[in-house]
Amino acid sequence: MIELIGTNAGKVWNALHDGGKMSLKALKKATKIKAEKDMYAALGWLAKEGKLAFEETDNDIFVSLIG
């Protein structure tokens, strides 16, 4: 399970590095991570490492890399 989370965290980081700020929906599509739980675990991993910024709007949450 830890290996899957790390792999998905890498997919998320690469997608954000290549595409910039994305909505959660766009990020899920870009990474092809199917299960929401897997997406949120990957986001949690990167957030704990201080690598993500989150921006909440009325309709969505946007994620971007820090630095």
Q: Domain residue spans in the chain? A: 2-65
Task: pLDDT tens for the chain, 67 residues: list them.
Answer: 999 999 999 999 999 999 999 999 999 999 999 999 999 999 999 999 999 999 999 999 999 999 7
| Domain spanning 2-65, CATH architecture | Orthogonal Bundle (1.10)
Give CA–CA dist 8/47, Å, rounded: 13
**DSSP labels for the chain?**
-HHHHHHHHHHHHHHHHHH-SEEHHHHHHHHT---HHHHHHHHHHHHHTT-EEEEE-SS-EEEEE--
The structure tokens listed for 6 are 């790390």
Query: Would you say 31 and 8 are in contact if contact means Cβ atoms under 8 Å apart?
Result: yes
User: So what's the pLDDT on residue 46?
Assistant: 98
User: So what's the pLDDT on residue 67?
Assistant: 76
